A and B are shown apart, each in its own frame.
Chain A
Amino acid sequence: MTNYGLVIDQERCIGCQTCAMTCKQENNVPMGQFWNRVLTVGGEHVDTPSGTYPEDGESGDLDMNYQPTACQHCENAPCVKVCPVNATYTRDDGIVEIDYDKCMGCRYCMAACPYNARVFNWDEPEHRPEDGTGDVAERPQGVVEKCTFCSHRVEDGLDPACVVNCPADARIFGDLDDDDSTVSKYISEYNTEQLLNEKGTDPSTYYVQGKMTPGRPWTSDKLETELGDDEAAQATRRRNGAPTSEHGPTPHVPAETAGGDD
Chain B
Amino acid sequence: MADADTTARRPVLSSFGTLGRGWLGVLALLLVIGLGAWAYQLQHGLIETGMRNVFSWGLYIMLFVLFVGLSAGGLILSSAPKFFHSQRYEGFARLGVLVSLGCIIVAGLLILPDIGRPDRIYQFVTSPDFRSPMVWDFGIVMLYGALNVWYLWLLTRRDLAARGSRLSLWVSDSAAGRDRDRTLMFWTAVCALPAAVALHSVTGWIFATQVGRGDWFSPLVAPVFIAKALVSGLGLLLVVSILADRFTAFTADRGELTSLGKLLGIFLAFHVVYLLAAERLPHAWAHHFGFWAITSNFLIGDTVYFWLWTGLGGAVPLLLLATPSLRRRTSVIFTASVLAVFGTLFEGIRLVFTGYQRVNINAAPGIATGGEYAGLTTDAWATAGTYTPTAVEIAVTVGVISIGALIVMAGLRYLPLQRAAPDAAYATDGGDRTQ
- List the interface of chain A (C-beta within 8 A of B): 30-34, 37, 39-46, 48, 67, 69, 78, 81-87, 102-108, 110-116, 118-124, 126, 140-144, 195-196, 199-201
Contacts and interface: CB of A to CB of B under 8 A. Distances in A.
A38 B210 CA distance: 25
A238 to B, nearest CB: 33
B301 interface: no
Q: Is the interface of B mostly helix, strand, loop or mixed?
A: loop
Contact of A69 (B47, B115, B361): B361
Q: Which of A32, A41, A107, A195 has the most CB of B within 10 A?
A: A32
Contacts of B369: 32
A116 B380 contact: no
21 contacts: A32-B372, A34-B367, A40-B363, A40-B365, A44-B364, A78-B212, A81-B132, A84-B128, A84-B138, A105-B116, A108-B206, A111-B213, A113-B212, A115-B360, A118-B53, A120-B46, A120-B116, A122-B47, A124-B45, A141-B45, A141-B116
A82 B217 CA distance: 14
Contacts of B52: 122
Interface of B: 44-47, 49, 51-54, 56-57, 111, 114-118, 120-121, 123-124, 127-129, 131-135, 138, 206, 209-213, 355-356, 359-361, 363-373, 380
A104 B121 contact: yes
B392 to A, nearest CB: 13
A46 B46 contact: no
A112 B115 CA distance: 16
A143 B117 contact: yes
B295 to A, nearest CB: 29
A112 to B, nearest CB: 6
A32 B31 CA distance: 34
B129 A85 contact: yes
A48 B363 CA distance: 11
Contacts of A116: 53-54, 359-361, 367
Contact of A102 (B49, B123, B206): B123
A48 B364 contact: yes
Contact of A46 (B54, B209, B364, B367): B364
Contact of B370 (A32, A103, A124, A196): A32
B117 A104 contact: yes
Given A112-B210, A121-B370, A142 B45 contact: yes
Given A85-B129, A142-B116, A142-B117, A201 B364 contact: no
A123 B372 contact: yes
Nearest to A142: B116
A45 to B, nearest CB: 5
A126 B373 CA distance: 8
Nearest to B133: A82
Contact of B134 (A34, A41, A108): A108
Nearest to B371: A32
Contacts of B117: 103-105, 140, 142-143
Nearest to B49: A122
Contacts of B356: 111
A143 B363 CA distance: 26
Given A84-B132, A85-B120, A111-B356, 7 more contacts: A33-B368, A69-B361, A85-B128, A111-B56, A111-B212, A120-B53, A126-B373
A104 B115 contact: yes
A120 B56 contact: yes
Closest 5 CB pairs of A and B: A105-B116, A142-B116, A114-B212, A31-B373, A123-B47
A88 B80 CA distance: 41
Contacts of B210: 78, 82, 111-112
Nearest to B137: A84
Given A110-B56, A111-B56, A142-B45, A39 B116 contact: no
A126 to B, nearest CB: 6
Nearest to B213: A111
